[in-house]
Structure 1
Amino acid sequence: MSLGEHLVEFRKRMFRALLGVAIGAVVGWLISDQILLALSAPVSAITSSQGRAASLNFTDVSQAFDLRLQIAITVGIVLASPIWLYQMWAFLVPGLTRREKQYAVGFVLTAVPLFLAGCAAGWYVLPHMVSILTGFAPQDTTNIISAGTYYSFVLKLVVAIGIAFVLPVLLVLLNFAGILSSKSILKSWRIAILVIVLFCAIATPSADVFSMFLLAIPMVVLFYTAALISWIHDRRKARAQEKFDAELVVP
């Protein structure tokens, strides 16, 4: 494909992905009240756990609307994840064969549950994070938290962990596309584990070491699973190449 054809293909894939996100955002707008209620639960729990008043506050006229819009877009991205993940695969590996289309479906069916599992893990540690970080406030004070700032904090924590859970699938995607070999993945295991531990330590900056390991262990397992799948794929690819080369040899 020429550069112009690549740009046309990119525009087509991007339009389909954005259309899916827009449809999901409509659903997110309709359920934004329930999401706001769930988001405020860790803040409301501060009153019972710390004995201090705590509340989410909207600091300007448009912040309530902006917050609902952010929630709608976030929900749209999550709900449309099967669509934009497939479009990403189809753009990176154009002209899919029948087997590659099966790989694409498998990629989407694997990446989406992992992303949701990562978001669920982030949501699990969220109340602990809120409780510990707000606990540094002096006694006899009130936690008045900006709703916009709080939502940005939740979004960075939950979605970042969700994306981290999908990264091993991205490694498999790069391997299947011929960009990254299984040897390269395995050689970087020390760096990968160090990055995972640092990421989990930053995502859970608290004395709760259990939460850090709760995030780190499945991420390490996913990394090695990605390496194993890539190794199996490389072996099958090498065998197929050897068979093809043998058939070319003239007897």
Structure 2
Amino acid sequence: MSQSPLLDHLLELRRRLLIGVIVVLALFSVLAFFADDLYSWLAAPMLASLPQGSTLIATDVATPFFTPFKLALVVSIALAVPVLLWQLWAFIAPGLYQREKRLVVPLMVSSSLLFYAGIAFAYFVVLPLALNFLANAAPEGVTVATDIASYLDFVLAIFMAFGIAFETPVAIILLCWTGVTSVTSLRAKRPYVIVGAFAVGMVLTPPDVISQTLLAIPMWLLFELGLLIASLYQHKPPSAAPESD
């Protein structure tokens, strides 16, 4: 009998994971038919930055076949993020208080939207500028010929960096809400945060000032947004305290 609750939790976890896997596979089964089109869309910024008549290349025999399918799988996982987060929410919801439930649901929705916003910002703003800079930075006599698999890995790293960076407001709200830190403390550390944002930009983006700045500035602005929202949440505990008494 003592193991029954644990077994129930494990079975519930398996069910939630299975639902997530099924959703990802269902999306992949559809997107696989458009794998080449997806890669053409992804390669558009790179092709636009290359000299006239230049194209991407494949240095491995199987690369032209597997690379588009790899992209289709990654896109399937990205599109399934709201479902995956909902399954996570459904698993942990029974152990949360009502006040916590009211906070978690908006955070999950906003985290999904911010993640997609980060990817969109990277694709439409960062990639064209960064790729154009890198392509024109080649020494005289050097022809830029990028492998399609290497380009995919490069772009996915950029997408992941900006997707995670755009989660800054959610991270700040959670840190303040759980008591790990406070809005006042974070405001006092604002100069260090700005320097840290540029340091993160240097690590996560290509070695050019443009893409580093385009990551650091949104991180700083999202930090300020997170402080604003966290300050609104911090006003609630004092009013809730008399009710608990």
Aligned to 2:57: 57
CA offsets 1:71-104 (integer angstroms, 9 cap, x no match): 1121112211111223344445543455544434
What is the total number of aligned residue pairs between the two structures? 239
> CA separation in 1, counterparts of 2:126 and 2:142?
24
Share of identical aligned residues, percent? 33
> CA separation in 1, counterparts of 2:244 and 2:172?
27
- Is 1:37 paired with 2:49? no
Aligned to 1:68: 68
Checking the alignment, whether the CA contact within 8 Å between 2:38 and 2:72 is kept in structure 1 is no
- Is 1:115 paired with 2:115? yes
Of 110-119 and 13-22, the range deviating more from structure 2: 13-22
After superposition, the Cα gap between the structure-2 partners of 1:132 and 1:82, relative to the gap in structure 1 and judged at 3 Å, is same
Letter in 2 for 1:206: D
State the TM-score, normalizing by the size of structure 1: 0.78
Structure 1: gaps spanning 5 or more residues:
246-251
Checking the alignment, whether the CA contact within 8 Å between 1:171 and 1:180 is kept in structure 2 is no
> CA separation in 2, counterparts of 1:84 and 1:194?
34
Residue 143 of structure 1 aligns to a residue in which SS?
coil
- Is 1:17 paired with 2:20? yes
> CA separation in 2, counterparts of 1:230 and 1:94?
25
What is the aligned-residue RMSD (CA, Å)? 3.0
Residue 87 of structure 1 aligns to a residue in which SS?
helix
After superposition, the Cα gap between the structure-2 partners of 1:82 and 1:156, relative to the gap in structure 1 and judged at 3 Å, is same
Alignment of structure 1 residues 134-149 onto 2, 5 Å: 134-149=135-150
After superposition, the Cα gap between the structure-2 partners of 1:244 and 1:100, relative to the gap in structure 1 and judged at 3 Å, is closer
Tell me the CA shift for residue 111 of structure 1: 1.6
After superposition, the Cα gap between the structure-2 partners of 1:236 and 1:22, relative to the gap in structure 1 and judged at 3 Å, is same
Checking the alignment, whether the CA contact within 8 Å between 1:182 and 1:227 is kept in structure 2 is no
After superposition, the Cα gap between the structure-2 partners of 1:27 and 1:185, relative to the gap in structure 1 and judged at 3 Å, is farther
Structure 2: gaps spanning 5 or more residues:
none
